[in-house]
Structure 1
């Protein structure tokens, strides 16, 4: 599993002009799933994401986690994170998991975050989505469960 996380002061996702999820303070997580990913990969990413110290403390140092600041998560599935651009000009998405497997792991990932007592807002799996955010810092990190 691969996640691009962005620290946000506000963020939303919409489908066909309708907002399906929005947060005011926390992380936007773009989540990609590949064929060999398992529930263990989801658990690894959740543990890393909710405990990663990337929010500023009173001294202005990145020393606080999502849990520490009481932030929320806007979770958006994104199969293009496994796009391969090495050959030609059109990305290949052969490394992305099939939709049924990817959706099951995406839902499991979101449930694990909720079990950490963190609110999760989402997009709609498999739909064309518009994501808007104000990235604070900016802080953007890529986390891969296989690396």
Structure 2
């Protein structure tokens, strides 16, 4: 499967950007950027003062892709010191399918499947991670 970056601003990239922006505003986050922090730090004037403790609460969205037919989107939601989650969502609605520790999503050419890796959890003894596994999921889960 050939992978290429979307470099032009099109209605599709605008829709993806808006979708990801709206999806990044979960119940544990409230800010106006891709990197989000919870509202627990003290406020001074109109600006929020971030502390070292706030850093562990930051989230980011990455590993975005759109299916070849334009109906599906994948994105990873990550947090510092917590395993990432991969989301597979139909653009027109519905709840996303969540793959805990999922990464590197790729759609099939007919957009009927998405393949991804499942990263093993970090070992508590500091020994790093083991081998990752591969997984697949049909995109049309509600049919």
Structure with higher Rg: it is 2
- TM-score range (shorter-chain normalised) is under 0.3
- Higher RCO, 1 or 2 (CA under 8 Å, sep at least 6)? 1
More helix as a share of residues: 1
